[in-house]
Amino acid sequence: MVLMVDGEVLATTGQGFLANLEDWNEKAAICLAEANHIRLTDAHWELIWFMRNYYQQYKHLPNARVFAKAIAKTLGEDKGNSRYLLKLFPDGPLKYTCKLAGLPKPPTCL
């Protein structure tokens, strides 16, 4: 699968994750969201930026439980719970946050 961003072709994996982390920018996130039928809101962007910062700091991706706990610690309990996260990303909060953030697929996600 390929992704077109401003006339440039970006390679993706078979599951639609960017093949190269360096290809990510906000326009790529918007195109990835559109390809996954997600309309980005400020709440989505907050999680995308959170995950990019987390990955940059820790050099790994969390599992779903650690993801929710880290969000609760950083952004507040009201955002670090499964109801809130599933409202934003019903098909998998961790998976789609990572995908839209241009990060690899988390090893714990199917």
Active site residues: 109
Structure tokens at 42: 């400020």
Q: What is the DSSP letter of 10?
A: E
Q: b/e for 20-48, b at 16 or more Cβ within 10 A?
A: eeebbeeebbebbbeeeebebeeebeebb
